[in-house]
Amino acid sequence: MSDDIYDDIYADMATLKELKNDKLVLDRILWDMEPKQLMEPTYTIDAEGKQGKRMLRGYIFYIDQMAGDKPALFLMCHTGSGYAETVAKIEEIPDELISSALEENKGREYFGMCPINKKIEEWLKKECGLTT
Digit-coded pLDDT (tens) for 24-51: 999 999 999 888 777 666 667 777 877 6
How many percent of the chain have pLDDT more than 90?
A: 49
Q: pTM of the predicted model, to two decimals?
A: 0.80
* Beta strand residue intervals within 43-112, DSSP E: 43-45, 51-53, 58-64, 72-78, 84-90
Phi, psi dihedral angles at 115 (to 5 degrees):
-70, 155
The separation between CA 106 and the C-alpha centre of its own chain, rounded to angstroms, equals 16
Mutual orientation of helices 95-104 and 118-127 as an angle, nearest 10°? 150
* CA–CA dist 65, 119 (Å, integer): 18
Strand partners, 43: 53
